[in-house]
Structure 1
């Protein structure tokens, strides 16, 4: 194979390889103060086998001293819009949680979905799997009026949705192309956890 032909084939293949991976990197803040990041990496194509890796690292400080620490790593395997397996490890300020769900687990029967904010198909669900606890949670999902959100320093008009679960209320923000760009969640005590796409 000639070098020119190989270079041409590689140039044609690169867009397909690049489109097979999506990354959402969010800055996380608590009541407007930065506390860390949450990064989601999705590999695979819509309608086919996909793999999602997520990693969150939060440190809440008071007078320079860490008063709360959160670490979460998860690996999800999807077939189309159906969750097929989940492995997650969480350190919630010293409380350690581990979830291991393999294909065939009753929690994954039918077409289960996690709180996979990147996938707008969750907006049609009545229950979602909590990756931190490994439990199915009943949810109510409502569309909210469109509003503007800052994304990478630009004001963007976004569609908003609210997920109401047993212990939390989460607002999701999607830009005009349907890309997930933000999250606001009210925590116990009324604190506001926000994600903004970087």
Structure 2
């Protein structure tokens, strides 16, 4: 009898092992289409797009490519152009490699990171080398697990930021006739001016932050409108 029980437990273990060892970030990536586009707004006006693309998905590995382009008129006659490109590779929920290129009005900067001997070796935008904790996550918002972090790798600067995420309430995403309930979180700390919105399944749906010039930037799931609690209350009055 004991032999039968042991054999049954062993067989169950074979089936459960892939589930118990499954990568959280692979599971997160599978929530999305292969390519997702977000609309970018500045002061409520459309200024560009943000694209998220997944590839190389296995049981424990996923690659994500991120691109953001925007063109905005600043101070009436001055056009501001910005392009951000990044590729990150995750394995067993650890960042194995990150390459970022940013072009801001023709001024280029780059950030790189790679796993080395249980540290994340990073070269920031000023060319300085850092050895950060191996489990550090980036400030790309497609994974909800960022809300469980207290330190993150700022993918634009290449420096480690302190955060303290907290709820800011709920909102609705009205996208092409579909209404989706969202929960918002202010990242806090060094990223206090950043609020990220997720649906109840954990998909990243929208982002709000302040630009260097103080203007409000929104990144919203393609074709969607972010309706926050204040707007809902005004509509009821």
Please give the range of the TM-score, normalised by the shorter of the 2 chains.
0.7 to 0.9
Cα pair distance change 1:191/1:166, threshold 3 Å: same
Cα RMSD of the aligned pairs, angstroms, is 2.4
> Could you give the per-residue CA deviations for residues 146-181 of structure 1, whole angstroms, max 9, x where no partner exists?
222333454322111111242651111111221111
Deviation of the 1:94 alpha carbon: 3.0
Cα pair distance change 1:172/1:46, threshold 3 Å: farther
* Residue in structure 1 matched with residue 146 of structure 2 by the alignment: 122
Q: Is the 1:21–1:44 Cα contact (8 Å) retained in structure 2?
A: no
* Residue in structure 2 matched with residue 68 of structure 1 by the alignment: 80
Q: Is the 2:140–2:155 Cα contact (8 Å) retained in structure 1?
A: no
The reply to whether residue 146 of structure 1 matches residue 158 of structure 2 is no
Q: Is the 1:35–1:58 Cα contact (8 Å) retained in structure 2?
A: yes
2:64, 2:131 → 1: CA distance?
18
* Residue in structure 1 matched with residue 230 of structure 2 by the alignment: none
Cα pair distance change 1:65/1:102, threshold 3 Å: same
1:49 to 61, 66, 90: 61
The reply to whether residue 181 of structure 1 matches residue 193 of structure 2 is no
1:179, 1:115 → 2: CA distance?
15
Misfit runs of 4+, over 4 Å: 44-47, 62-66
Deviation of the 1:50 alpha carbon: 1.1
The unaligned stretches of length 5 or more in structure 1 are 1-18
* Residue in structure 1 matched with residue 41 of structure 2 by the alignment: 29
TM-score norm. by structure 2 comes to 0.68
Q: Is the 1:46–1:80 Cα contact (8 Å) retained in structure 2?
A: no
2:65, 2:93 → 1: CA distance?
16
2:161 to 137, 147, 151: 137
Q: Is the 1:99–1:133 Cα contact (8 Å) retained in structure 2?
A: yes
Q: Is the 1:161–1:173 Cα contact (8 Å) retained in structure 2?
A: yes
Aligned length: 180
TM-score norm. by structure 1 comes to 0.80
1:116, 1:125 → 2: CA distance?
13
> Could you give the per-residue CA deviations for residues 116-157 of structure 1, whole angstroms, max 9, x where no partner exists?
211111111111111111111111110222222333454322
